[in-house]
Chain A
């Protein structure tokens, strides 16, 4: 169980705690503090996956967020997650990782045949090949591509983990805890600002953990620890590790992804797995650092090829060697630090430097340590299929376009450095137009659009001294503006190595007659030749080249490939990089789990649940509920084995014959008060409201300004200046906003106040021929005769000791009343009604019976008032006043609203008197006509008429007035039904409306 590539002492891992895990079924171990990547490399495992298109063997390339290859399917804590970045995921006991995109195994992958057929997979392959025949796409091409490509497998199990959202506000958000981030946070904290410092990695310090520097005579790591400890002790500072700020949105809203407990072996029940932070920051410091970019060469994707800084990080942080025979391939000084680190650990590196022989502090040090340095040299092609075995290296000529000498050297890893690319993703997302900095061959932030300031390497400053200085200065100045306090901080003394100039060299030429793949984008398998093809085929815009070749479109967002791709395009096009421009950076910076985005809004918490005060009673009495917006309403009360159809028929029949009660609490209720209330209602409703007496209700219809019916309901005059409006359940919120709009903006001169009282009143409808008898028992002291409480009458009276409102209004078309009591008394009212109603055969009824009752009466509701109907369409033109003005009146004169053949509400019954007509059916003349069959109307609501014992539907039909008596077909392709129907009046039951007045 030895780890052949683990160093004895080096690193920040805990060698006292072993952690066991499996990789592709093999049992291995690592240490606390390892990532999956560092533990595998310690065990000498490099081959971890197959590439996306060609299924080429792939290993690790980076040591963190920049990793393009090592995406694994990982099972831990009882769930399976695809595309986990092995260089970021910390090792936890019992974790099990498997390779993706390979079959049957990573060592022997059938798909690798693609690699040998690569001439058939050029850029745009999918676009060119799978275009025809068109019908092949769904059945053959797409399933094939999906199987062959793609990354990991999403779990189909329910996610049992807990995710959270958090909203936070701060003066200064610092993204990244490298030297400039620490300095900024520290200076701002000292000024008393509310600071959040976010670090993506488990350890704070960024490059301070790996660079050979000292600050105020402390090592970089110790200085970082000192600053973090002090920051943590300050009450105005929040310090977060394992937290990636991945999105920069409008008005300085940043979103952060915190991995709360993925690294924990045990956690308490309520600890979330991950947390999403919405942070509104007054100022943001972007100290996101930079990412090393590679130099492009042949077979540069072979396992064992690393970024040079990653190789150093594996040694210094994890105590792991990426190889024992390293080649260091560089165009700059920073890779010399990696070479020196190898040397320190008794490994002999060879440095290939594309620059001509020269001298700098680091080169001199490497020379003095006896390291083999070969100037004007580079790697042409790596040899080895599943692991680097050797490399063909070449001495470049003066123009660096051909070779003076070529030889092969043995190696087991190649550490490559093509200089540094500032991480400008967040700055770009904030709206900052980037500018190209010639000095570093990369883009840096330019003019800001929001309150963001990039410091340190993210801003293109690659020295520690500069990074610290900018950090302290910006942290101090930005926070002082907010806190109006400025604490002087002396900038510490820094000891660091001076770097010489880098070589503007990014792609190795190929010797004649050699044509290995040179990859620019590893994750999407985009090679130099793919980009060349795209340009040859006429793609010019970098955005088009990106989409055609898929360069930079993978989950790593081209972190290591974008600039090399741009360089290539600019070389071929003979344009300078700034002219080519860059593609758009979009959030998220790194992939985040869908669970985190959803947070706690799952299951019962998906949306609020509104329950009426009588909900518990409904539950106890076998109510089957239906969602009405956020409300739960009883759809029917199940007796025995009844179906929905049977139960609703029974309930509706009982209302027609005896009496039933229905929970109508969910209806919107708006209290309207003020001396101008009548005038206001008169403008809002289409009918007249100025003369409604106190103690009377009236049915009202309101329109939108375009003449379309918005809502209907009754409004009751409670007292001189006090009205009680009801709306439909669905429109309650919209109607309130509508009223507020007119009162606040259009007619502020009206002295009226409106407020929602929906939740303040519990409501029950009592409907049926015996409802008056029942009412008289509920109110023994009240005269409830037709004379004393006529249709549309209103009374206030005590209901067994509690105050109540009695409205004589009806939705069912029967003699009916609605009783309102304060919500707290709702249950009391309901139970009392059930008790008193027994002798009259009272039964509760749900929304299904309610619909049946209103449909067969021809009363319109949501399905008819669907945002397309005007009053005359639904036979409500009697409610439209010709004398007064109201909202939407002017629109009713529109020509299209007044043509003779305008749609109109009608009733439909099936010719066979048996077949139910599906809602949504289209009405056509000839069911066998050729398509498109002209549509004459549609079925809006359907029921089983309990009065006539046959199906009945309402429909909105063209020229409906003149269609009565004629026969048509109601066709529902969805239900595969075609039913012959006869058009009749929409008022199927009691067309004169005698019952409600009885």
Chain B
């Protein structure tokens, strides 16, 4: 079971979180024209890297904040966590 550092609450067990997918995906702006290709990429296309991956988790049984987690998909090592408004490099 992973041990995830919520930037608001501190280290908490994975049980308290739910997974939210790739955090680097950006939704096309509302009320703006978007090409079918861009839209399809946003809705369907995801990378499945082996190694470092920046992903979203929600602290669902805690502060209910969505957070960013940089995790190694092969080893589960977590390098960094951040608020969604912050950048992970």
Chain A residues within 8 Å of B, Cβ to Cβ: 167, 249-253, 278, 280, 431, 449, 683, 705-706, 737, 740-741, 744-748, 884-885, 890-891, 893
Contacts and interface: CB of A to CB of B under 8 A. Distances in A.
22 contacts: A250-B1, A251-B1, A251-B76, A251-B78, A253-B1, A253-B3, A278-B1, A705-B43, A706-B43, A737-B18, A740-B58, A740-B66, A741-B20, A741-B66, A744-B65, A745-B56, A745-B66, A748-B85, A884-B31, A885-B31, A890-B28, A890-B39
A744 B3 contact: no
Given A885-B31, A890-B39, A891-B43, A431 B75 contact: yes
B14 to A, nearest CB: 8
Given A683-B30, A748-B84, 12 more contacts: A250-B2, A250-B76, A705-B27, A705-B43, A740-B58, A744-B65, A745-B56, A747-B30, A884-B31, A890-B28, A890-B34, A890-B39
A253 B13 CA distance: 10
B79 interface: no
Interface in B3-44: 3, 13, 18, 20, 27-28, 30-31, 34, 36, 39, 42-44
Interface residues of B, number: 27
Given A250-B1, A885-B30, A744 B43 contact: no
Contact of A741 (B3, B30, B58, B76): B58
A249 B18 contact: no
A428 B60 CA distance: 33
A251 B2 contact: yes
Contacts of B75: 431, 449
B46 interface: no
A737 B61 CA distance: 11
A864 B84 CA distance: 35
A744 B84 contact: yes
Nearest to A891: B43
Contacts of B66: 740-741, 744-745
Contact of A252 (B3, B20, B44, B85): B3
Contacts of A167: 13
Q: Determine the main DSSP class of B at the interface with A.
A: loop
A246 to B, nearest CB: 15
Contacts, number: 53
B31 to A, nearest CB: 5
Contacts of B1: 249-251, 253, 278
Nearest to A734: B18
B64 A740 contact: yes
A251 B75 CA distance: 10
Contacts of A250: 1-3, 76
Interface of B: 1-3, 13, 18, 20, 27-28, 30-31, 34, 36, 39, 42-44, 56, 58, 60, 64-66, 75-76, 78, 84-85
Given A705-B43, A740-B66, A890-B39, A280 B3 contact: yes
Contacts of B27: 705, 746
Contacts of B42: 705
Nearest to B76: A250
Nearest to A756: B64
Nearest to A252: B3
Leading 8 A-B pairs by shortest Cβ distance: A251-B3, A250-B76, A890-B39, A885-B31, A744-B66, A253-B1, A745-B84, A885-B30
Contacts of B64: 740
Given A431-B75, A740-B64, A745-B84, A891 B3 contact: no
Nearest to B78: A251
Contacts of A890: 28, 34, 39
Q: Which among A449, A705, A884 has the greatest number of chain B C-beta atoms within 10 A?
A: A705
Nearest to A737: B58
Contacts of B78: 251
A890 B28 CA distance: 10
A449 to B, nearest CB: 7
Nearest to A169: B11
A960 to B, nearest CB: 26
Contacts of A885: 30-31
Nearest to B56: A745
A278 B1 CA distance: 10
A781 B2 CA distance: 58
